[in-house]
Amino acid sequence: MKLLFLACLSPKTGNCTTAERLRAHIESAGHTCELRDAADFKSSAEVADLIQQKPRFEGAIAIHLFKAGRLLLDIQVPFGVVFGGTDINEDVKVEQKRAVMEQVLLKARFAVAFTDKLKKEAEVHLRSQSSKIYIQPQGIKTEVSTSFSWCEFLKSSGVTGEDVDNISVFLLVCGLRRVKDPLYLLQAFSEWHTENPLVVLIIIGPKIDPLYTEEVEAITERSAGVYLAQERSQEELHAAMRMSFALVNSSVSEGMSAAILEAMDLELPVVARDIPGNAALVQHEVTGLLYTSPQEFVRMSQRLLVDRELRACLIKNGKRYVEDHHNLHNEREGYKRLMNTLH
């Protein structure tokens, strides 16, 4: 089959990484898959015209029911959709968007939820056939750059001093936008850094929201112990994660954080904000740590610094969790089966 795949493709974001991985799964099943950025289209009519161009597309798939799925409403070929966290955590709160997502679900052959909780939320907020929604966790594959220099990374991020070899880096991986809330921990972390100069927080990720990025840059500049790093390739980011002390998540909402799963796979402890999307992945004090306030984050991180047994336990259990529940082969086979429903 020739398939059109619509997704939000801001470079070096989780959405982009997920879309590229799913395209590879689809093509491994023998299909032709053309991945396009949903932002390139102004209306569903434009997508309908594209579908008709020869050689014609025989099916379609989209990540995010509202952002991309709405563009498939006028096409005359079967399609499937993948829920994004924004669909359930944010867009269902807006009546107009919720109505559009219900139309998308009604027309779709299938919908994919990354977790059982996401499926249940969809069933509560959106009128849909439960049998249409399949649970397919994300598959994870990490690759570490062999040419990565930790010292160069720290220096380029602004971390200097004679004691850099003893620094514990808490790495916050996120696109710079409000829903990721990278400013949430800054004051508390700066106060902690003042007490213990050997702990630093490095924020790294693409600049998605320009105005918000300016705010983050300004506040970071005057926050002791907090640094903003230039985004890196996926392989370099994974190398930086492996060298860090812990992965930090401070998001207001998440669907399924690829950064958390990648950290677990790379044997990096996770300290994540206690929100539903994170709690679906992180079992507190088993596969990671969940906090509910900046002060609690500091307390848990202080404990992680001195409790080697806890750190070793989180690393071992996190790695096992990813291997058992986020296997790349299982994800590939799942999407192969779903593509068969589009015939």
3-state helix, strand and coil shares in percent for the chain, rounded to the nearest 5: 50, 15, 35
Q: How far apart are CA 101 and CA 51, in angstroms?
A: 21
Residues 245 and 196 sit within 8 Å (Cβ to Cβ)? no
Domains 2-139+327-340 and 150-325 share a fold: yes
Q: Give the span between the Cα atoms of 290 and 287, in whole angstroms.
A: 10
Helix (H) or strand (E) holding 135: strand 133-135
**pLDDT band at residue 320 under the 50/70/90 scheme:** very high
Q: What are phi and psi of 249, to 5 degrees?
A: -125, 130
Buried b (16+ CB within 10 A) or exposed e, 331-341: bbbbbeebbee
168/128: higher pLDDT: 168
Are residues 188 and 295 in contact, defined by beta-carbon separation less than 8 angstroms? yes
Structure tokens at 76: 């005359």
Phi-psi category of 79—alpha, beta or left, where left has phi over 0 and alpha has psi -120 to 50? beta
Q: What is the mean pLDDT of residues 144-168?
A: 91
Per the CB < 8 A criterion, the answer to whether 250 and 278 are in contact is no
- The pLDDT value recorded for residue 88 is 85
What is the Cα–Cα distance from 138 to 325, expressed in whole angstroms?
9
Could you tell me what percent of the chain has a pLDDT over 90? 82
Comparing CA positions, the residue from 251, 254, 262, 186 lying closest to residue 224 is 186
Confidence (pLDDT) at 75: 96
Average predicted confidence (pLDDT) for the chain: 93
**pLDDT for 310 beyond 90:** yes
What does the alpha-carbon distance between residue 273 and residue 294 come to, in Å, rounded to a whole number? 9
How high is the pLDDT of residue 160? 85
- pLDDT computed for residue 54 by the predictor: 87
pLDDT at residue number 9: 85
Q: Which amino acid type is present at position 29? A: A
Instruction: State residue 219's pLDDT score.
Output: 97
| C-alpha to C-alpha distance for 278 and 217, rounded to whole angstroms | 26
In the predicted structure, residue 11 carries a pLDDT above the cut 80: no
The CATH code for residues 2-139+327-340 is 3.40.50.2000
Q: What is the pLDDT of residue 164?
A: 84
CA-based R_g, the chain, Å = 21
Give the mean pLDDT of 267-293. 96
CATH topology (fold) of 150-325: Rossmann fold (3.40.50)
* Cα gap 231→202, rounded to integer Å: 11
* The pLDDT value given to residue 116: 87
- Of the listed ranges 91-100, 129-138, 203-212, the one predicted with least confidence: 129-138
Residue ranges of domains in the chain: 2-139+327-340, 150-325
Span 11-18, average pLDDT: 77
pLDDT at 12: 65
pLDDT digits (tens, 9 = 90+) for 33-90: 999 999 999 999 999 999 998 899 999 999 999 999 999 999 999 999 999 888 888 8
The per-residue pLDDT for 84 is 87
Please list, in sequence order, all residues whose beta carbon lies within 8 angstroms of the beta carbon of residue 146, skipping any fewer than 6 positions away: none
Q: Give the confidence band of 170 by pLDDT, cuts at 50, 70, 90.
A: very high
What's the pTM value of the predicted model, to 2 decimals? 0.87
Closest by CA to 86, choosing from 189, 151, 7, 190, is 7
Q: Which of 319, 182, 179 is nearest to 263 (CA)?
A: 319
The yes-or-no verdict on residue 117 having pLDDT over 90 is no
